[in-house]
Amino acid sequence: MSNVDLVKLYLRGQNLEQLGRVDDAIDLYERGVAEAFDSSGPYDRLIAIYSHRALHDDVVRVAEAAIRNVHTYEDKLGWYEVMRAEAVEERGKAPRAVPRAGE
């Protein structure tokens, strides 16, 4: 997919998100991430959405992809590192499921 196509995909995702169709936007943002888009937009939106939903594994995955793929300044890469580290920490705090007696 060309960079122009990836930009269009991201902009369409933004429009869907603004219309309240967040899950549809996620699908488009994820396509951008899967294509190793080199701009921060889809990564930032996914990190924000997944953080809000407490989907820590997804925050870690997207932040790591951003660190690999996004061409940006050092402070922004540092932000991805912080978001990744915070998600790893939060993931460790999540209570583990315990089977009920007799199961």
What is the torsional sign of CA 53, 11, 67, 26?
Answer: positive
The mean of the pLDDT values for the chain is 93
Asked whether the whole model's pTM tops 0.85, one would answer yes
Mean pLDDT in residue range 15-20? 98
Helices (H), the chain: 3-18, 22-34, 41-52, 56-69, 74-93
The reported pLDDT for the residue numbered 5 is 96
Domain ranges of the chain: 3-93
Indicate whether 103 pLDDT > 60: no
What CATH number labels 3-93?
Answer: 1.25.40
Tokens of 30: 């994820």
